[in-house]
């Protein structure tokens, strides 16, 4: 069975600091996609970043970047220069034909 594990239930950092959220997954598939989604208190799920497993280059989107280690089945998210608006639940998700989600990490950015 395919699973996604986020081992950090909650994290907090000061504004402007860098924070890394961890995600590991388990699959026997070779082609798949990985996502990080953000869910602020407003509940709307928002895509942060997407990684295709066949691409070795790590995806980046402005202040957000990933460290994708395919052999280790690890997909961490790094947020640089964190901002108050980054406060949210962050979910890691794995896609083959279904989206399998982790339990989420609550990230709090303190002023």
Which residues of the chain form contacts with other proteins (CB under 8 A)? 4, 32-33, 35, 37, 42-47, 50, 91, 93, 95-104
Least distance from other proteins to the Cβ atom of residue 15, Å: 26
Any idea what DSSP says for residue 85?
G
Report which of 1, 22, 2 is spatially closest to residue 10, judged by C-alpha positions. Answer: 22
Instruction: Report the C-alpha gap between 108 and 6 in whole angstroms.
Output: 16
Cβ distance to other proteins smaller for residue 30 or 111: 30
Reading the block at residue 79, the tokens are 């947020």
CB of 60 to other proteins, least distance (A): 16
CB of 36 to other proteins, least distance (A): 12
């Amino acid at each position: 069975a395919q699973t996604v594990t986020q081992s950090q239930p909650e994290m907090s950092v000061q504004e402007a600091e860098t924070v890394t959220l961890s995600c590991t997954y388990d699959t026997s598939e070779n082609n798949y996609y990985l996502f990080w989604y953000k869910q602020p208190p407003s509940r709307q799920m928002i895509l942060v970043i997407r990684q295709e497993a066949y691409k070795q280059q790590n995806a980046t989107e402005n202040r957000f970047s990933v460290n994708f280690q395919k052999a280790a089945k690890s997909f961490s998210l790094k947020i640089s220069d964190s901002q108050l608006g980054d406060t949210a639940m962050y979910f890691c998700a794995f896609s083959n034909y279904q989206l399998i989600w982790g339990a989420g990490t609550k990230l709090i950015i303190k002023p």
